Chains A and B, each alone.
Chain A
Amino acid sequence: MTTRSLATGLALCASFVIAPAGSYGQSPALTPFDKLPDWSGTWAMTGGTVFDRATQTGKGGSIDPGVREHPPYNAVYEKKYAEHLKLRDEDRYPDVQTNCGVPSGFPRILNLPDAYEFVVRPDVFYIIAENGGNTMRVYTDGRKLPGKEDTWGTYTGVSVGHWEGDTLVWETVGLKGDRDNDSILDRTGLVISDEAKITTRMRKIDAQTLEAQMAIEDPKALTKTWNVTKQFKKGKPGLFLYDYGCAENNRNPVDPATGQTHTLGSDGKLIK
């Protein structure tokens, strides 16, 4: 080995040794694992998939005629919601997820059936919803929210958070909302806009219950802050979660022209 090649090798080694320590090491400001709350296990949302049960009118699920919710919509969005409710009552307001292609988005990711895992780490918090499947990331590594010019509207937006004792507090921006008519909060037809900003406070209120309080601000759609609370009960120990291939056996395609949901037979042919 020549002196030159030895020097090159040493320089390469030095770069590998130094880079992880300088670029990838855990920040001492992060809350360490042993100081974080235990949200392990599986969880399931309580109640039906009506997004805001506190303002619900009528009994039943989000697809039942007569059931509606009362967000503090302005006139434009109240009119839009009324139109969605009318289509829902005519069975012509298909769930945007029925064609198996888009995420549930936020805040709907906290309004899903099936099971959840909430993964707490020093640098990031993950919401893993079996239904969908859907994933959301909340960065808790001290970074700031990006500026408006650095967000472009996605289903779950971007979120950063911090811990206040055992409560995780995070802010979410950069949501696409109803911009493309493919993101809803539930099947009553609730939507928010691409200007929404949501502050969520999530904590364990007892050993078996997690609670998420969401304060939704949306100058384009709401006249005041809309507060919604969702709760999740812990599952029995040892339960398994599974993948959820929406397109695996989707026998309910939607007709884009009419909004009607079809049904295919076991042979793949149209029944209705």
Chain B
Amino acid sequence: MKSTFKTSVAALVVAVGIQPALAHHSSAGFSEGTKVVSGTVKEFQFRNPHSWIQVNVTDETGKVTEWSVEWGSPNQLGRDGIRPSTFPAGTQITIKLRPDLTGHPIGIFVGAKMADGKIVGKWSDE
């Protein structure tokens, strides 16, 4: 039953392509283009004013960089079907984001592809 619920949530999220605005601060310091990073979810901070997905990304030299990926308020995301359990710690994930213009490991969430192929948010090439 639980997995059915999660599947329904994922389907809903894909269907509506939710892209909540950053309600709390400007996103002018972020690229209009997108970047894709893959890694392991460290933590999903489902708290106001914005949600943050923390992802540990390992490069070819073995260096681990923690990315901070910002999303909408949990209030709006919650009404759109997202839950604190949407990104469990330890999950392998590929995230599409709008990267910080100064090159820091920060981005605004666009979409995510889970290991089982489920899409959360917007993944326009799908």
Within 8 A of A (CB), among B34-48: 42-43, 45, 47-48
Residue of B with least CB distance to A252: B25
Q: Are B26 and A94 in contact (CB under 8 A)?
A: yes
Q: Which of A93, A131, A242, A272 contacts B23 (CB 8 A)?
A: A131
Q: Indicate if B68 sits at the interface (CB-CB under 8 A).
A: yes
Stretch of A26-34, A70-78, A192-200, A263-271 that contacts chain B: A263-271
Q: Indicate if B52 sits at the interface (CB-CB under 8 A).
A: yes
Q: Are B76 and A63 in contact (CB under 8 A)?
A: no
Q: Which of A93, A239, A246 contacts B49 (CB 8 A)?
A: A246
Q: Which of A49, A94, A97, A266 contacts B66 (CB 8 A)?
A: A266
Bound complex: CA A206 to CA B49 (Å): 32
Q: Are A239 and B28 in contact (CB under 8 A)?
A: no
Q: Are B26 and A114 in contact (CB under 8 A)?
A: no
Given contacts A61-B21, A261-B26, contact A249 B49 (CB under 8 A): yes
Chain A residues lying within 8 Å of B73, measured Cβ to Cβ, are 113-114, 131, 244
Given contacts A242-B74, A244-B73, A250-B49, contact A271 B104 (CB under 8 A): yes
Q: Indicate if B94 sits at the interface (CB-CB under 8 A).
A: no
Given contacts A61-B21, A240-B79, A266-B54, contact A187 B26 (CB under 8 A): yes
Within 8 A of B (CB), among A236-254: 239-242, 244-246, 248-252, 254
Chain A residues lying within 8 Å of B8, measured Cβ to Cβ, are none
**Residues of B within 8 Å of A, CB-based: how many?**
31
Q: Are A263 and B21 in contact (CB under 8 A)?
A: no
Chain B residues lying within 8 Å of A218, measured Cβ to Cβ, are none
Q: Indicate if A48 sits at the interface (CB-CB under 8 A).
A: yes
Whole-angstrom distance between the Cβ of A83 and the nearest chain B Cβ: 16
Q: Indicate if B11 sits at the interface (CB-CB under 8 A).
A: no
Within 8 A of A (CB), among B8-34: 20-21, 23-29
Q: Are A91 and B48 in contact (CB under 8 A)?
A: no
Q: Are A63 and B26 in contact (CB under 8 A)?
A: yes
Q: Are A241 and B75 in contact (CB under 8 A)?
A: yes
Within 8 A of A (CB), among B77-100: 78-79, 100
**Residues of A within 8 Å of B, CB-based: how many?**
42
Given contacts A242-B74, A244-B49, A266-B68, contact A49 B21 (CB under 8 A): yes
CB-defined interface of A165-182 with B at 8 Å, one 1/0 digit per residue?
000000000000000000
Q: Indicate if B122 sits at the interface (CB-CB under 8 A).
A: no
Chain A residues lying within 8 Å of B76, measured Cβ to Cβ, are 113-115
Bound complex: CA A48 to CA B24 (Å): 14
Whole-angstrom distance between the Cβ of B17 and the nearest chain A Cβ: 16
Bound complex: CA A61 to CA B45 (Å): 26
Given contacts A240-B79, A266-B68, contact A113 B28 (CB under 8 A): no
Which 5 residue pairs of A and B lie closest in terms of their CB atoms, listed nearest first? A249-B47, A91-B28, A113-B23, A98-B25, A63-B26
Given A89-B28, A263-B106, 20 extra CB contacts under 8 A: A48-B21, A88-B26, A91-B29, A95-B26, A98-B24, A112-B23, A113-B73, A131-B73, A239-B79, A244-B49, A244-B75, A245-B47, A249-B48, A249-B50, A250-B49, A263-B100, A263-B104, A266-B52, A266-B68, A271-B104
B-side residues, CB < 8 A to A, are 20-21, 23-29, 42-43, 45, 47-50, 52, 54, 66, 68, 73-76, 78-79, 100, 102, 104-106
A-side residues, CB < 8 A to B, are 48-49, 61, 63-65, 88-89, 91, 93-95, 97-98, 100, 112-115, 130-131, 187, 235, 239-242, 244-246, 248-252, 254, 261, 263, 265-266, 271-272
